[in-house]
């Protein structure tokens, strides 16, 4: 029998050799993708149930992971349960691939599941993310796994999970509407920043995780599957492709995304992406020892590490600080990187179709440079 | 092309971990052995084992060493390890009368069958710093055994009768609703939903963080609750672990575990026509009487199922009692939050702009209350 003749399946009597062949995969002494097969199956079943009932929180037996709870343990359980050895994995934390915690999660997946990793949104099969949906359109070949700290939008109005489960069962969201109304009365507008309460398929009120309002419209009628996984609170929920997702708002107090009036990314010049402010004073030179930004950027400008020294875009716009001395940079570092060499790159550049609706700046109403 | 920063991020992680490890090795002192930790800092290792939900004293000592004495971190290491282990079997329910007690005190009665066994405890001594211990370092030879001169009769120990049994015989204790003959639930495998069964409550309490249990148990005593129990007894000892033999089907003892146990009666009468004490129970791995007693108070409090007092609200207690959950979420605030913070900034600037312009919807300008923007991540 030659090497190639060997049957694909391991004979049942060769348990020892089967185990031996397994031990070469990933972390020594641990099962493939860290979790045991039973657990992965349970998580997958929970995901399937969550897809079947969009926006409904499915309890699952969240396992203790070798990461602290509240640091992406739900997301990594979902990711490890759906990743296969052929898959490519991307992890972002607050929009950045290089965040230290994202790097730690990515390393766990590489070591235990042997997956390829990427920082390119369009190359990934599974993207695990904390608090952002990428700027580039996520396709129907991709799954986005969002880390969830608080599973229930109703937690804001009632701390009791038992009471909130009853409300969901009865589709009784009166208390949330009253909360929003009181917001308007007190502040003149709805004062919710991230974690914006969102109605899924007209049935379940969902906490979209603390993504900025900017990203909420991307959930609506998307091509991709969104899986929301909470480790500490042991719940999984999902927004399947092409599901209606609508942020709660009033007719005369509409839903508003974050505004960046007259601001452009200081690095790539984009005006249609989610920007974050950078305090110039915080810049320090280089990274030595373990010193670096907590986003792992080693103190480089805005969390974008430059792989070729200062380039034209940076030099041109580098001194162009905002009115109050504030500087803005793209939050999605991977897309910002692409835009630096190609400033007009559309967010659906990798698709056959044009003008794909993907949140602020891409909708028909937004097009033509109108800022939202 | 690629991100240099990605590699840098991983390098930074490694360096930070190296620095943490160096902290342990810094200085001239000899390194602590796992054996020393297991033998001499048993309270610490027992707490890690109890909160980790894994009875493996040597591993607990290893975890304490690796965590540099942080009990929550140590129990976290144990839990992460435990979750990769297969669950082979369930043990046979063991009668706690079989506990080999090294300590048993009964505050309820002056004299109890079997007597009060103080056992090893510092409870009744003055808490003065013992400077002699410092001089112990580097001393040659074995330290003196303070019990070397004792004249202990070599006879079988007396059987201690459980104090609760006496009260139960009199019909003074209301038994908590039985869980039934169904398989016990396992909260590490099935998520807790409310209302939680008593078996789930007891499991979560038994794995709860010692400080959290102590604080919540104390809250009930302090006036935020009705439960001020009388302890029937507090016991420390070794409890046999029994399984059904896979071939013969006979019950066999495979090992034993050190536990602290506490039982209490509470003068809260469930029924008017037949007044009976309510009952509370606490059990934890290792020597940790404080946690066992606090658990007893919380078990009794939760059975009252009140909504007004924190300790009596099962959902509240179970939501906050777990050290893994609370530590992780409290410390996650150290992670970057600039996306959500940008979102908050947008809200507050929007409201400020409108307020300053003076067309702020309702009561603009007149309300000096601080603006609170919601994100709760």
Is the pLDDT confidence value at A199 over 90?
Answer: yes
pLDDT average, residue stretch B226-231: 89
Contacts of B163 (CB under 8 A, 6+ apart): B106, B108, B109, B112, B232, B233, B263
pLDDT average, residue stretch B320-331: 93
Rounded Cα gap, residues A268 and B301, in angstroms = 60
Lowest pLDDT segment from A7-21, A173-187, B244-258, B263-277:
A7-21
User: Does residue A182 lie in a domain region?
Assistant: no
User: Does residue A296 lie in a domain region?
Assistant: no
Give the pLDDT of residue B371: 54
The last residue of a domain, from among A85, A113, A147: A147
How many CB atoms neighbour CB A201 within 10 A? 16
Q: Do A210 and B340 count as a contact with CB atoms less than 8 A apart?
A: yes
Rounded Cα gap, residues B168 and A283, in angstroms = 71
Residue among A218, A274, A184, A302 at smallest CA distance from B343:
A274
Exposure letters A287-319 (e unless 16+ CB within 10 A, then b): beebebbbbbbbbbbbbbbbeeeeeebbeebee
pLDDT class of A179 with cuts at 50, 70, 90: very high
Is the pLDDT confidence value at B140 over 80?
Answer: no
User: Does residue A65 lie in a domain region?
Assistant: yes
Give chain A's domain count: 2
Tell me the CA distances in angstroms from B161 to A279, B94, B104, one per residue in order: 70, 16, 10
Give the pLDDT of residue B17: 87
Residue among B373, B351, B370, B374 at smallest CA distance from B362:
B351
Q: Which domain holds residue A278?
A: 259-289+312-365
Is the pLDDT confidence value at B186 over 50?
Answer: yes
Rounded Cα gap, residues A151 and A209, in angstroms = 7
User: Does residue A205 lie in a domain region?
Assistant: no
pLDDT class of A309 with cuts at 50, 70, 90: very low
Higher pLDDT, B375 or A93: A93
- Token output for B168: 């139960």
User: Does residue A331 lie in a domain region?
Assistant: yes
Give the pLDDT of residue B270: 65
Mean pLDDT over each residue of chain B, to the nearest integer: 85
Q: Do B13 and A185 count as a contact with CB atoms less than 8 A apart?
A: no
The last residue of a domain, from among A120, A147, A174: A147
Give the pLDDT of residue B164: 87
Q: Do A192 and B347 count as a contact with CB atoms less than 8 A apart?
A: yes
Residues 64-83, chain B, touching A (beta carbon < 8 A): 76, 79-80, 82-83
Interface test with B, best of A131, A197, A297, A299 (most B CBs within 10 A): A131
The last residue of a domain, from among A147, A167, A189: A147
Give the pLDDT of residue A21: 52
Is the pLDDT confidence value at A193 over 80?
Answer: yes
| Pair (A143, A264) in one structural domain | no
User: Does residue A176 lie in a domain region?
Assistant: no
Q: What percent of chain B has pLDDT over 70?
A: 89
User: Does residue A96 lie in a domain region?
Assistant: yes
Nearest CA in chain B to A39: B189
Residues 223-262, chain B, touching A (beta carbon < 8 A): none
Q: What percent of chain B has pLDDT over 90?
A: 43
> pLDDT tens-digit profile of A311-337?
434 434 444 444 566 789 999 999 999
User: Does residue A3 lie in a domain region?
Assistant: no
Classify residue B264 as exposed, middle or buried by CB count within 10 Å of its CB (0-12, 13-18, 19+): buried
Q: Do B191 and A59 count as a contact with CB atoms less than 8 A apart?
A: yes
Interface test with A, best of B5, B18, B188 (most A CBs within 10 A): B5
Give me the residues paired with residue B230 across strands: B265
Rounded Cα gap, residues A225 and A239, in angstroms = 6
> pLDDT tens-digit profile of A344-357?
999 999 998 888 88
């Amino acid at each position: 029998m030659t090497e190639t003749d060997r049957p694909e399946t391991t004979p049942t009597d060769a348990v020892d050799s089967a185990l031996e062949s397994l031990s070469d995969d990933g972390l020594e002494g641990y099962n493939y993708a860290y979790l045991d097969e039973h657990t992965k199956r349970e998580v997958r079943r929970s995901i399937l149930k969550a897809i079947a009932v969009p926006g409904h929180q499915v309890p699952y037996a969240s396992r203790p992971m070798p990461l602290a709870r509240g640091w992406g343990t739900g997301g990594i359980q979902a990711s490890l349960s759906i990743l296969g050895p052929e898959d490519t994995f991307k992890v972002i934390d607050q929009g950045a691939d290089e965040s230290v915690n994202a790097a730690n999660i990515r390393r766990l997946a590489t070591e235990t599941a042997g997956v390829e990793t990427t920082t390119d949104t369009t190359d990934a099969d599974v993207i695990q993310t904390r608090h952002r949906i990428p700027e580039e359109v996520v396709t129907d070949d991709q799954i986005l796994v969002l880390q969830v700290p608080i599973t229930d939008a109703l937690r804001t109005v009632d701390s009791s999970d038992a009471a909130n489960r009853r409300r969901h069962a009865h589709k009784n969201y009166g208390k949330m509407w009253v909360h929003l109304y009181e917001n308007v009365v007190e502040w003149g507008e709805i004062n919710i920043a991230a974690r914006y309460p969102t109605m899924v398929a007209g049935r379940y009120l969902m906490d979209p995780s603390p993504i900025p309002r900017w990203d909420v419209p991307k959930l609506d009628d998307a091509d991709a599957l969104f899986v929301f996984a909470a480790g500490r609170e042991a719940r999984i929920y999902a927004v399947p492709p092409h599901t209606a997702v609508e942020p709660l708002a009033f007719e005369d107090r509409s839903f508003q995304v974050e505004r960046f009036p007259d601001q452009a990314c200081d690095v790539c010049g984009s005006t249609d992406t989610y920007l974050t402010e950078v305090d110039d004073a915080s810049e320090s030179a280089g990274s030595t020892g373990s010193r670096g930004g907590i986003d792992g950027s080693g103190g480089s400008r805005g969390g974008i590490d430059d792989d070729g020294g200062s380039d034209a875009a940076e030099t041109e716009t580098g001194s162009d600080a905002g009115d109050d001395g504030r500087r803005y940079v793209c939050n999605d570092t991977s897309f910002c990187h692409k835009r630096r060499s190609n400033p007009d790159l559309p967010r659906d550049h990798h698709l056959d179709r044009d003008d794909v609706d993907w949140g602020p700046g891409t909708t028909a109403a937004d097009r033509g440079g109108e800022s939202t | 092309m690629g991100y240099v920063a990605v590699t840098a991020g991983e390098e930074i992680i490694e360096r930070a971990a190296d620095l943490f490890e160096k902290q342990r090795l810094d200085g001239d002192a000899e390194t602590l052995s796992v054996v020393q930790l297991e033998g001499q800092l048993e309270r610490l290792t027992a707490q890690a084992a109890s909160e980790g939900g894994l009875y493996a004293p040597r591993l607990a000592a290893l975890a304490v060493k690796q965590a540099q004495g942080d009990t929550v971190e140590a129990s976290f290491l144990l839990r992460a390890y435990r979750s990769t282990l297969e669950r082979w079997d369930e043990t046979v329910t063991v009668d706690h009368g079989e506990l080999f007690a090294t300590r048993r005190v009964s505050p309820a009665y002056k004299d109890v069958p079997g007597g009060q066994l103080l056992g090893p405890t510092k409870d009744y001594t003055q808490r003065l710093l013992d400077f002699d211990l410092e001089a112990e370092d580097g001393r040659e030879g074995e330290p003196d055994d303070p019990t070397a001169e004792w004249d202990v009769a070599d006879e079988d120990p007396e059987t201690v009768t459980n104090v609760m049994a006496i009260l139960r015989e009199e019909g003074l204790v209301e038994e908590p609703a039985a869980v039934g003959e169904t398989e016990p639930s396992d909260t590490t495998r099935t998520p807790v939903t409310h209302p939680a069964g008593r078996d789930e409550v007891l499991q979560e309490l038994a794995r709860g963080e010692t400080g959290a249990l102590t604080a919540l148990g104390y809250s009930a005593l302090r006036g935020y609750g009705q439960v001020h129990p009388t302890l029937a007894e507090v016991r420390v000892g070794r409890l046999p672990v029994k399984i059904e033999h896979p071939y013969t089907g006979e019950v066999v003892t495979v090992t034993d575990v050190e536990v602290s146990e506490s039982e209490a009666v509470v003068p809260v009468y469930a029924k008017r026509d037949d007044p009976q004490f309510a009952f509370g129970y606490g059990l934890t791995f290792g020597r940790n009487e404080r946690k066992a007693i606090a658990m007893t108070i919380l078990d009794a409090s939760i059975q009252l199922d009140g909504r007004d007092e924190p300790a009596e609200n099962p959902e509240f207690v179970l939501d906050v009692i777990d050290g893994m959950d609370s530590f992780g979420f409290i410390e996650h605030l150290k992670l970057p939050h600039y996306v959500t913070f940008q979102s908050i900034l947008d809200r507050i600037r929007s409201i400020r702009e409108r307020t300053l312009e003076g067309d702020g919807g309702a009561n603009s300008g007149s309300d000096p209350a601080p603006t609170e923007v919601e994100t709760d991540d």
